[in-house]
């Protein structure tokens, strides 16, 4: 083999490891196992697929959980395909952080304010049409990543996202966003600014009459889900699990009880499109989208859509412009005129700094 041909075929890879407070918690091997647990719903299957013992996996997971002080894997009896294991929000956040860091080959180093001004600005989080419309004139200078609120928090932690729109419901407190920021160790890294409120609820075919999430299970309706990490998905799963308990089902596995639970889309628009095309009967989303597609809607609550800004990104000129635009009187006027929206009473206030 010629040396030139050999060199063309060789590739170098950099192993990425994640540490927490100086202790190594995740490498490529364990990251792959966590991915398999989330996909297969079984620790045993994940261990077998990677050629390691069940006890080795459990020891590694326990070590990680002890260091983080949070559960990484949740195990339930009678789960998916006999396993019943899944990643917690913390587990998914750490895995997403690893994947983002691994894709780059390293964690992005901190930059000076002078350097960051010339960088492209990344806006992540849950999709919102008003945000997109207000920032449309700067589309060439902003990279939008509508990957969901939880994934956006991961990006803020990893330094791949500068500012994000988040709407994560916390069932323990009945509030939005701040509990997640604190739980995921982001309090010192972010500024959280109060945004607006949106009507969130059930979107369904207009000939149907759906008032409660429990009817999805009782009537056997075809469901279309949102991606994991989406703010509305967090709320939907919470309400659906409550419905399962209320209906007295012994098996809490939503994938078994709900037709189409494994069918996922990225946004409320994706939910509406599936329903319009006749591929689903019902899903979760915002009123504005239901109205635009001529679909039925039942409000379940008003959600807070807030802005989370990475402190290290405050030196970017575009961040200042985005904050100015999204807290302006023009923005407030557009919010008031949009069906299913209203400015929060403390619109523009700093909730966490």
Q: What is the pLDDT of residues 338-352, one digit of tens each?
A: 999 999 999 999 999
Report the pLDDT value the prediction gives residue 90, as an integer from 0 to 100: 84
pLDDT at residue 2 above 80? no
| Average of per-residue pLDDT across 226-232 | 88
Give 54 or 149, the one with higher predicted confidence: 149
| Average of per-residue pLDDT across 176-180 | 95
Nearest in space to 223 (alpha carbons), one of 231, 234, 213: 213
Report the pLDDT value the prediction gives residue 318, as an integer from 0 to 100: 94
| Average of per-residue pLDDT across 254-273 | 93
Which of 3-7, 24-28, 65-69, 137-141 shows the lowest mean pLDDT across its residues?
Answer: 3-7
CA distance 169 to 324: 26
Read off the tokens for 277. 């095309």
Give 323 or 228, the one with higher predicted confidence: 323
Per DSSP, the residues of 152-180 read HHHHHHHTS-SEEEE--EETTTTEESHHH
pLDDT at residue 98 above 60? yes
Answer left, alpha or beta for residue 64, where phi above 0 means left and psi between -120 and 50 means alpha: alpha
Note if the pTM is more than 0.85: no
Which of 19-23, 240-244, 295-299: highest mean pLDDT?
A: 295-299
* Number of neighbouring beta carbons within 10 Å of residue 352: 17
Which of 16-25, 196-205, 274-283 shows the lowest mean pLDDT across its residues?
Answer: 16-25
Report the pLDDT value the prediction gives residue 233, as an integer from 0 to 100: 92
Instruction: Report CA torsion sign: 175, 181, 185, 187.
Output: negative
Residue 94 has φ and ψ, to the nearest 5°, of: -65, -40
CA distance 201 to 282: 10
CA distance 285 to 299: 9
Report the pLDDT value the prediction gives residue 185, as an integer from 0 to 100: 85
pLDDT at residue 260 above 50? yes
| Secondary structure letter of residue 338 according to DSSP | S
Beta-carbon contacts of 17 under 8 Å, excluding residues fewer than 6 positions away, are 24, 26, 27
Domains of the chain: 18-102 (1.10.10.10), 201-301 (3.40.190.10)
């Amino acid at each position: 083999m010629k040396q030139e041909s050999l060199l063309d075929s060789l590739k170098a890879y950099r192993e990425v490891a994640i540490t927490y407070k100086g202790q190594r918690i995740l490498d490529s091997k364990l990251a792959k196992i966590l991915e398999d647990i989330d996909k297969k719903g079984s620790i045993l299957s994940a261990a077998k697929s990677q050629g390691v013992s069940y006890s080795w996996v459990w020891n590694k997971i326990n070590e990680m959980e002890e260091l983080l002080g949070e559960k990484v894997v949740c195990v339930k009896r009678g789960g998916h395909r006999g396993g019943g294991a899944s990643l917690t929000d913390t587990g998914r956040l750490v895995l997403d952080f690893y994947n983002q860091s691994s894709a780059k080959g390293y964690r992005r180093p901190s930059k000076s304010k002078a350097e960051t001004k010339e960088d492209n600005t990344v806006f992540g989080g849950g999709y919102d049409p008003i945000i997109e419309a207000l920032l449309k004139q700067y589309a060439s200078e902003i990279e939008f990543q509508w990957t969901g609120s939880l994934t956006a928090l991961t990006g803020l932690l990893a330094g791949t996202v500068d500012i994000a729109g988040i709407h994560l419901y916390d069932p323990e407190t009945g509030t939005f966003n701040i509990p997640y920021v604190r739980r995921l160790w982001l309090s010192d890294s972010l500024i959280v600014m109060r945004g607006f409120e949106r009507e969130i609820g059930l979107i369904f075919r207009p000939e149907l009459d759906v008032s409660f999430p429990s009817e999805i299970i009782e009537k056997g309706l075809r469901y279309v889900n949102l991606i994991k990490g989406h703010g509305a998905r967090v709320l939907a799963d919470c309400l659906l699990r409550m419905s399962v308990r209320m209906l007295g089902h012994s098996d809490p596995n939503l994938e078994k009880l709900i037709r189409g639970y494994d069918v996922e889309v990225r946004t409320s628009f994706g939910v509406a499109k599936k329903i319009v095309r006749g591929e689903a009967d019902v899903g979760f989303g915002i009123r504005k989208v239901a109205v635009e597609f001529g679909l039925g809607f039942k409000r379940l609550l008003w959600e807070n859509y807030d802005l989370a800004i990475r402190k290290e990104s405050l030196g970017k000129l575009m961040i200042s412009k985005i904050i100015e635009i999204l807290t302006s009187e023009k923005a407030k006027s557009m919010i008031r005129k949009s069906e299913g929206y209203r400015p929060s009473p403390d619109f523009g206030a700093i909730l966490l700094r």
